[in-house]
Structure 1
Amino acid sequence: MKHGFGIIGAGAIAEVHARAIDTIMEAELIGVYDHNPDKTTSFSMKYNCKAFDSAEELCKDEKIDIICVCTPSGRHLEPALAVINAGRHCVIEKPLEVTLARCDKIISAGIQNKVMVSGIFPMRFSRVNIELKKAIDEGRFGRLVMGDAYIKWYRSPDYYKDVKWRSNFNSSGGGAVMNQGIHSVDLLRWFMGKVEAVCAFAGLVGHENLEVEDVAAATLKFENGAMGVIEASTAVNPGFYRKIEILGTHGSVVIEEEKILTWKFDEERDTDHILREKYSGSNQSGGGVSDPKAISDIGHLRQLLDILKALDNNHPPAVDALEARKAVELVLAIYASARNKRIVYL
């Protein structure tokens, strides 16, 4: 079945969506809308699609059945509701929204209108992360002891000056954790399970005149008894690949972006050597460590394929809205702990 896509919001991340859609044989980008008419026009010309004059007009187009919401993080709710209430399936770029109340309005609307709502978390579709999740589910780690995520990136002052919403708390929902680190926050929770308690600190160290944090560190206690940390920053120069460490009583894995640094278990399998060889090379993309545009669209492509498969087979996508909400909940717990100087229990 051929699916028609629309995009609301024509910023940098919308281009990742457009490139991914263009790669899928069963998909076609029909049109785009942005509140800035010039951006709408230039985007439509670049990606050979229709420029719509309003979100409402785009949502009513009969050729479109799926719409990607690519507006700023704290401005997802209103376009998402327009999409959902028009009976269109809705794909929302991370984060789902920046408060749980706004997330819940989206989720409720999706249920009431019987449409699919999915949140974008492309790192879940990385081949090496899928292998890691499989090893966890098979019990190869024994008892999980620690789970850590490190996102130590660099964003220049111009990154915040050129796009004003990035430094505004209401529009962005936060800084290094909500907008850069949330991919790894989601991944860590997917690997390790529910977080029971958080103790965190956050601040502004490497930039000036921002309403959002450029550094944060959180200690986590997971429901299964394991512990861990999340460290996130946009002030670390020159920036480093994000890293995930999953450590257990019978084995440990350390992954840097798409590269395996450690893959070691008490019970060695023939496939372990193959995996270490396959993922031992250099990372293929810049990973966004210092350039927000230096990211691959392969993760978005894989996730959109999962969404289309879910629609065609009438089952939920891998990351539905309820699943996407979980990462927002953890980020907000980190912020609450840092703000109130206390442990937050989830």
Structure 2
Amino acid sequence: MSTENVRVGIVGCGNIADNHYQAYQQIHGVDIVAVCDVDLDRARAFAAERCIPHAVASVAELVELDLNAISVCTPHPTHEAVVTAAARAKVNVLCEKPIAADVAAAERMVAAAREAGITLGVVFQRRYWPSMQRLRRAIDDGRFGLPMLAHCQVLLHRGSEYYGAAPWRGTWVADGGGVLMTQAIHNIDLLQWFLGDPVEVSAKAGTFVHRGIIEVEDTAAALVTFASGAIATVTATVAARPNLGTRLTVTSDRGATVVLTEYPEGADALEEVWTVRGEQALTPSLAGALQPDMPVSEVNARLLRLHRRHVADFIDALRTGREPFVTGEEALKSLRIVQAVYQSTRTGLPVAIGECSVNPAFRHLDAAAQETLA
């Protein structure tokens, strides 16, 4: 593949699909051959606007087009079916986060990719922020010390117009969860990337503001413990107004503290506090006027350059035979935390990571919903 063009397809023609299209467009030697959507008219319109040769309505049709790779941009619970179909056809996959809405499904996806010998990458583009990578390097080279305490804060706004624009949003069967599964999982991924393997979660969650609009949680709080002995808290909501972005605070056993803030949402994460010895800096993130809420399409546009880096890494991994930056196995880690939060919320008890392999919310779905997931 290193000497030939890479032929790719995109599954799902919703909002984030254009980020994948634009990212592939920037890479020399990549041909975007086809798009796929269960709504064939939408697939055809997406393809026509971008001069993509083929538009189809099923993954089975898509993988027959001699593709090397596909991007999966469909609702979370559909990821397993798409990835396993691609694996059977020996087509590599770059999947949007979360890898799935259910740990058991994600584990099957990883196993299918491994058995087929294909590459499975997952998009967690916020890892590409320079400030996040700077902290990762400081941990790796010992300058920061051992992370022992952290806080992940997600104060976002998603209103009725966001959920109304796509009726599947905010449902257990099609979204797989609320703020934790769809928004905060980015920040939970960063949390575990810095602190290591999580071992236990205690949590509470509820729907406080969007009752009657969504089925899933709009607000959650959790305590996460890690194998290293580190502890972290997570607070997340999509009911903040205005949207105040996200903040990740990490403190080490040397007393160094770093605060990384994404404000406004989609903007580059700012090193608000950096107290690694000899590198002290303080840059308040909310010193100016509050930013108005922006549509999700604008947030996605702000994240495009990170998608470009993620997609470029995936293509380079295919060409060189190495693993992508975020593998399926790596993407499982944040999903395990989220699923443990849901289990703890329902039982009121601490939950060991890995103790619950099936999203407990799915157990409450009616027969028709279960059939849809199958």
TM-score by length of 1: 0.92
Following TM superposition, by how much is the alpha carbon of 1:287 offset from its aligned partner in structure 2, in angstroms? 11
**Pairing of 1:56-75 with structure 2 (within 5 A):** 56-62=60-66, 64-75=67-78
Tell me the distance in 2 between the aligned counterparts of 1:189 and 1:259: 19
Q: Offset of 1:208 from its aligned partner?
A: 2.0
1:181 matched residue in structure 2: 184
1:100 aligns with 2:91: no
* Aligned residues with identical type, % of pairs: 29
* Whole-Å separation in 1 of the counterparts to 2:340 and 2:324: 26
Mapping of 1:1-346 within 5 angstroms?
A: 1=3, 2-49=5-52, 50-62=54-66, 64-209=67-212, 210-250=214-254, 251-257=256-262, 258-266=269-277, 268=278, 272=279, 290-293=294-297, 294-295=299-300, 296-346=303-353
Q: Residue 260 and residue 235 in structure 1: after superposition, are their counterparts in 2 closer, same or farther (change >3 A)?
A: same
Whole-Å separation in 1 of the counterparts to 2:204 and 2:189:
19
Once superposed, which parts of structure 1, at least 4 consecutive aligned residues long, lie more than 4 Å away?
A: 279-282, 286-290
Partners of 2:270 and 2:7 lie apart in 1 by 35
Give, in angstroms, the shift of residue 260 of structure 1. Answer: 0.9
C-alpha spacing 1:342/1:290, structure 2 compared with 1 (3 Å): farther
Letter in structure 2 aligned against 1:292: V
Q: Distance in 2 between matches of 1:195 and 1:26?
A: 40
Q: Distance in 2 between matches of 1:287 and 1:199?
A: 33
Q: Which amino acid aligns with 1:48?
A: C
| AA matched with 1:327 | S
Deviation for aligned residue 1:145: 2.4
Q: Which whole-Å deviations, capped at 9, do the CAs of 1:141-160 have from their partners, x for residues lacking one?
A: 33322111111100011211
Which sits farther off after the overlay, 45-54 or 322-331? 45-54
Per-residue CA deviations over 1:95-114 (Å, capped at 9, x if unaligned) read 11111111111111111111
Give 3-state SS (helix, strand or coil) of 2:63's partner. Answer: helix
**CA 1:252 to 1:235, structure 2 compared with 1: closer, same or farther past 3 Å?**
same
Could you list the per-position Cα deviations for residues 44-81 of structure 1 after superposition, in whole angstroms to 9, with x for gaps in the alignment?
Answer: 1222212124321211112x211011110111111111
Note if contact 2:24-2:32 (Cα within 8 Å) is conserved in structure 1. Answer: yes
Any idea what the Cα deviations from partners look like across 1:113-160, whole Å, max 9, x if unmatched? 111111111111222111110011122233322111111100011211
Letter aligned with residue 62 of structure 2: L
Deviation at 1:249, TM superposition (A): 3.0
Segments of structure 1 that go 5 or more residues without pairing to the other structure are none
Q: Is the 8 A contact 1:5 1:30 kept in 2?
A: yes
CA RMSD between the two structures: 2.1
Deviations 1:3-28 (A, max 9, x none): 12100110011111111111222322
Equivalent residue letter for 2:337? L
Q: For 2:292 and 2:148, how far apart are their aligned partners in 1?
A: 29
SS at match of 1:303: helix
Q: Which runs of 5+ in 2 are unaligned?
A: 263-268, 354-374
